[in-house]
């Protein structure tokens, strides 16, 4: 019984450490997701502003060479936005995986704690039965040695 209790205590402690480790990874992943979102927003704003500049330049009159440069740069900016979206999507998948691992670790810890409570309850029942047997034995001996009352 003592070995089972010690094992469960170690498992609960291990699962708590696991939750802390995954929690730290999850916090870092969330911070990185925020950075990726910020970078994507910045690229999108920049593409929008540059598109407005191109529109203004075209209304004012623009050379064919400048138009090609604008167009080429807008293509590069579009690719950068697409790549950033892909990176964010991949990171969101990793974040979801980490969240699931964290939840799984929490469920495992709760299961260990439930088993730990069951073991403790079982040990208490065994101790109570042992005490009851001892009390019954003491009462039996007291009856055997007590003078008979008539």
Domains of the chain: 2-116 (1.10.287.1700)
Q: How far is CA 78 from the centre of its chain?
A: 34
Q: Is the pLDDT of residue 2 over 80?
A: no
Q: Is the pLDDT of residue 37 over 80?
A: yes
Chain segment 92-130, per-residue pLDDT in tens: 999 999 999 999 999 999 999 999 999 889 989 999 999
Q: Is the pLDDT of residue 66 over 90?
A: no
Q: 146: which DSSP letter?
A: S
- Name the pTM for this structure: 0.70
What's the CA gap between 97 and 26, in Å, rounded?
A: 9
The answer to whether the beta carbons of residues 74 and 47 sit under 8 Å apart is yes
Q: Rounded to 5 degrees, what angle do the CA atoms 142, 127, 132 make?
A: 25
Instruction: Show the tokens assigned to 98.
Output: 């980490």
* pLDDT at residue 85, rounded to an integer: 96
């Amino acid at each position: 019984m003592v070995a089972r209790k010690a094992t469960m205590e170690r498992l609960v402690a291990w699962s708590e450490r696991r939750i802390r480790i995954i929690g730290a990874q999850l916090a870092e992943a969330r911070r990185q997701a925020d950075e990726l979102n910020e970078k994507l927003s910045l690229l999108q704003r920049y593409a929008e502003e540059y598109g407005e500049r191109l529109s203004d330049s075209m209304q004012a009159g623009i050379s064919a060479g400048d138009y090609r440069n604008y167009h080429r740069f807008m293509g590069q900016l579009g690719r950068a936005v697409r790549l950033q979206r892909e990176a964010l999507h991949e990171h969101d998948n990793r974040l979801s995986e980490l969240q699931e691992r964290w939840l799984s670790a929490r469920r495992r810890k709760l299961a260990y704690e439930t088993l730990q409570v069951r073991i403790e309850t079982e040990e208490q029942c065994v101790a109570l039965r042992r005490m009851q047997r001892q009390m019954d034995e003491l009462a039996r001996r007291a009856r055997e040695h007590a003078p008979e009352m008539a």
